[in-house]
Amino acid sequence: MTFHYRYRKQIILILSLVLIITVSISSVIYFYEPNKEKKVKDLKVEKIKKEKKVEQEPTLYMVDIKGQVINPGIYELSSSSRIIDVITKAGGLTEIADTSVINLSKKIEDEMVIIIYSEYEVTNWIETKEQEKYLQEKCRQEEEGKIENDACITEDATIESTTININTATKEELMTLTGIGEAKADAIISYREQTAFTKIEDLKNVSGIGDSIYNEIKDRITV
C-alpha cells in the first residue's frame, strides 16, 4: 500500500475542510463589507437629517399684546409672524378697536409690546399719547425707598425710533407720527403727489399741519 493510497482519504478531507473554510470566510467578507458601508451611509444620512431639522426649527418670540383684543396677554409665536398673527392669536379685535394707526403687516420682535387702540383713542390721538407718556413716567418714577421697576414700558417701546420718509411713507406709517391722523396722512400724500418734499420744513405747507405738530414730529421725519 503506497503513501498516497493510505492517506488519500485524509488529504481529501483536509482539502474539503480548507475549501469550506475559504468559502465561509469569503462569504462573511462579502456580506460584511456592504453592510458596513450601508451602516456608515445610514449614519451620515441620519446626521444630515438631524442637522436639517435643527436648522428648520423656528425661533420663538414672546410678545405682549394689550388694548382692544379679545384676550390681551403674552403669546409665543415664530419669529416670522406678523402683528396680524398676534391679534389672531389673541382672539381677534374687539368691536371698538381701530387699527388705522397700526401696521398689521409688520414682523414681530422678541419682547415686543403691541397696543391696539380704541376708536376714541385714535380720534383723540394727542391726548392718548400724552396719557401713555404720563403712565410710563409714573411707572419708572423713582421715589425714596422705592425699587425702580425695570419692567415698565418706555416711550421707545411704543414709538418707532426709526425716521419716516414723508416722500415715500405709507398712510399707516404716517399715522404713527404724533398728531397725524387719517385725514392729515391723506393730506400729506395728496401734497407730495403734486410736489415732492425737498426738506422736512415743507411739511408745514400741508393743510392742517402747523408749528405745534411739526415740532412734535420733526425728529422722526426725513425726506
Q: Could you say which DSSP state residue 69 is in?
A: B
| Two domains, one topology: 58-123 and 160-223 | no
Task: Note the pLDDT tens digit of each residue in 81-102.
Answer: 999 999 999 999 999 999 888 8
Q: Where are the beta strands (DSSP E) in the chain?
A: 60-67, 73-78, 112-116, 164-165, 221-222
pTM across the whole model? 0.48
Find the mean pLDDT for residues 43-48.
Answer: 70
- The domain over range 160-223 is classified in CATH as 1.10.150.320: yes
Find the mean pLDDT for residues 48-53.
Answer: 66
At 24, the amino acid letter reads S
Q: CA-to-CA distance for 68 and 90, rounded, in angstroms?
A: 10
Checking if the pLDDT of 42 tops 70, the result is no
32: confidence class by pLDDT, cuts 50, 70, 90? low
- Return the domain boundaries, the chain: 7-56, 58-123, 125-152, 160-223
71: confidence class by pLDDT, cuts 50, 70, 90? very high
Task: Note the pLDDT tens digit of each residue in 132-172.
Answer: 777 877 777 666 566 677 777 765 544 444 578 888 888 88
Nearest to 205 by CA among 179, 32, 194, 154: 194
Q: Could you say which DSSP state residue 21 is in?
A: H
- The domain over range 58-123 is classified in CATH as 3.10.20.600: yes
The per-residue pLDDT for 56 is: 63
Output Rg (C-alpha) for the chain, integer angstroms. 37
What torsion do the CA atoms of 56, 61, 65, 71 make, to the nearest 10 degrees? 60
The per-residue pLDDT for 209 is: 87
The CA-to-CA distance between both ends of the chain, in Å, stands at 119
The per-residue pLDDT for 76 is: 95
